[in-house]
Amino acid sequence: MISLTIDQVTKRFGDTVALNRVDLNINPGEIFFLLGPSGCGKTTLLRSIAGFYVPEEGRILFGDEDVTRLPPHRRNTGMMFQSYALWPHMTVAQNVAFGLEERKVAGPEIARRVEEALASVKMAAYGTRRIHQLSGGQQQRVALARALVIRPRCLLLDEPLSNLDARLRLEMRAEIRRICKDFGLTAIYVTHDQKEALSIADRMAILEGGHIRQAGPPSEVYRHPVSRFVADFMGEVNFLEGSVRAVDGPTVTVETPLGMFESAVPARAWQPKAGDVCTLSIRPESWQLATAAAPRNGLAGRIRDRVYLGEMAQYEFAAAGGVLKIYELNPRFVELSPEREVFASVQPEDVVVLPR
C-alpha cells in the first residue's frame, strides 16, 4: 500500500487547461473516486498518475518517490480501461499473463500468479477460453485480473463498469471493492456515475473545469456540499434562493419565497451573516410529510404529481411560492387526493446554506 500526492499539478493541451494547479492526497489502501462532468479533467488526472501524460507544472508522488516524469512501465500501476483492451487472439490465461511476460517473470511463477489472479476474480475455470467466448461481465473480471497479477503499487480504473448492464454493474461494484480491500490496494477510480462512487468510495473528489471543487467521504460530499455545482452534480436537489435574516451560533435563519427556514449547516469555509444572499440546498428525501403542520421548517401544499416505485414515491409538491421535489420512503401519501392539503417539513441539519 502506498500514498499518492498530487502537488499543484497543471496539464495543458494547447490553449486548453485540463488541470489547473490540482492538489490532492490519497491515503494508503484508500479507494478514491474522481467524479465530474465530461471535460472536467478527471481522466486527464488519472492518465497523469499512470504516466501517459506529463504535467507542465507540479509533482506526482508515490509515497516519497517523485514519479512525475517516470514512464508508465516503471510506475508499476495496474490500469483497467473502459474498453477492457483484451487481446482477442489470446486465451484468458494468456491475457492475464501478458504483463508478467513483459516483466520477464519466470514461467512457473507466471502460472502460479495467473491462477491466483483468476481465482481472486472468480474466473479460475475460464483460463483456456477465448475472449469472444466470455460475457461482458466475465471480460471485465479478466481485465481486472490482468491489472492485479502484476501486483501493482496502485490500481487505476477508468470507468470500468460503463459497458455493463445495470445488474452486472451492481454485482461488480461490490466485487471491485472486495478485491481492492482484500489485496490492500490503493485505488483511483474515474466515473461519472454518482451511485457507483457513493457505493464503493472511501473518499471522492468532484472536479469542474480542471479544479477540484470538493473532496471528502461520500456522505459528507452528498449531505454537505460546498457549492451549488457540487450539490447539483451529486443528485436530485431542491434549491431555494433566499437571504440570511439571522445567525445565532450554528443556526442560520433564511427567508425564502416558501417561508423561513432554519439551517444548522452553512457551507464549509463560508461564514454567512445577516443580509447575505444565499441558496438553500435540500435533498428530496430529507422532507417529511404529515397531516399536521410542523413547528419549524414546514410548509403546506398539495401533491400535484407522483411516481410510485414500490419502496419509494417521488412527488411534485406544490406550495405557495414554489414547487418542490419530495421523495418518500415506504410511501404512505401516494394515494392521497390532489385536493387534500398536506404538510412538508425538514430538519435544520438537512438544510445546507450555500453562498449564491
**Which of residues 179 and 63 earns the better pLDDT score?**
63
Helix then strand then coil, in percent of the chain rounded to 5, is 30, 35, 35
Give CA–CA dist 284/326, Å, rounded.
Answer: 4
pLDDT of 253-266, one tens digit each? Answer: 999 999 999 998 77
Which band of pLDDT confidence, cut at 50, 70 and 90, is reported for residue 63? very high
**Which of residues 216 and 184 earns the better pLDDT score?**
216
Sheet containing 312-319: give its strands across.
Answer: 288-290, 342-345, 298-308, 312-319, 322-329
Residues 24, 30, 32, CA angle at the centre, nearest 5°? 55
Summarize the confidence of residues 50-56 as an average pLDDT: 95
Task: State the number of CA atoms in the 13 A half-sphere of 107 facing the CB.
Answer: 0
Please enumerate in sequence order all residues whose Cβ is within 8 A of that of 197, keeping only pairs 6 or more positions apart, or say none: 33, 35, 189, 191, 204, 218
Which of 27-41, 54-68, 152-166, 312-326 comes out lowest in average pLDDT? 152-166
Q: Spell out the domains of the chain, with CATH numbers in brackets.
A: 4-228 (3.40.50.300), 236-355 (2.40.50.140)
pLDDT at 80: 85
pLDDT at 207: 97
pLDDT of 295-307, one tens digit each? Answer: 899 999 999 999 9
Average pLDDT across the chain, whole number: 92
Give CA–CA dist 231/343, Å, rounded.
Answer: 25
Q: Which secondary structure element, helix H or strand E, spans residue 211, and what is its range?
A: strand 211-216
- Dihedral of alpha carbons 208, 211, 213, 217, sign: positive
Summarize the confidence of residues 123-146 as an average pLDDT: 90
**89, pLDDT greater than 80:** yes
